[in-house]
Amino acid sequence: MMDAHPSGMFRHALATRLWHWANAVVVIVMLMSGATISNAHRFLYWGQKGAMPEEAWLRVPRWPGWMTLPSHYDLSSAREWHLAFAWVLAFGLGAYLAASLVNGHVQRDLTLGRAGSHYHTLQKLVYCGLLFGMVPLLIGTGLALSPGMNAAWPWLLDLFGGRQSARTIHFLLAGGMAAFLVGHVALVLVSGPAKLLRGMLWGGEGGQ
């Protein structure tokens, strides 16, 4: 839920604030651990198989240590970090969507064409694309790449066109998430960060 105060500050529901800050940590950890995983093999392919660089459609840059988790090369640890926070992302999304349906946030603020919402149409499209498109696809392609899920749900790889296609889609979506994060921070900085941060930290004047 988000209501406007006379001062112009917006008050966010507790579910929105918790999901926002939890995701800030989750996305950063997953991008950094994903960078370590990417460094293990920096080539992307389409289809079921791919191992030879000359068959790749894209060579990914090598990410420096300050951008990776752990900061030194440790593929096993990176995978553990990535998987652990992937579950936080998945269950957090489910809990947030459930809470947003109950408190009316989805119906009130994200329905296209609905008057009176604080968000304009482009913001709604981006937000809905993130909630119902990018994040679920990141989770789905990540599950498809998990050996444990391959055994339980072998159809997942077929859904995404094979293991290497799932890996490519996962990488491109992660790049989109990184771009969204940078754009989001930039917009906050140019839109009055003090007021926006107070609203997202405490829910506006007096909290909620």
* pLDDT, tens digit, 9 for 90 and up, residues 109-122: 788 766 666 677 88
Question: Band of the pLDDT at 161, cuts 50, 70, 90?
Answer: very high
Question: Band of the pLDDT at 104, cuts 50, 70, 90?
Answer: confident
Task: Please give the Cα distance from 192 to 195 (Å, whole number).
Answer: 6
pLDDT at 27 over 90: yes
The domain made up of 2-202 is a member of CATH 1.10.645.10: no
Task: Please give the Cα distance from 189 to 55 (Å, whole number).
Answer: 42
Better pLDDT: 72 or 199: 72
pLDDT at 2 over 60: no
Q: Is 36:174 a contact under the CB 8 Å cutoff? A: no
Write down the pTM of the prediction: 0.83
Q: What are the backbone dihedrals phi and psi of residue 158, each rounded to the nearest 5 degrees, phi first?
A: -65, -35
CA proximity to 173, closest of 144, 197, 194: 144
* Residue written as token pair 């008050």: 11
Distance of CA 48 to the CA centre of its chain: 25
Task: Please give the Cα distance from 164 to 150 (Å, whole number).
Answer: 14
Percentage, residues of the chain above pLDDT 70: 88
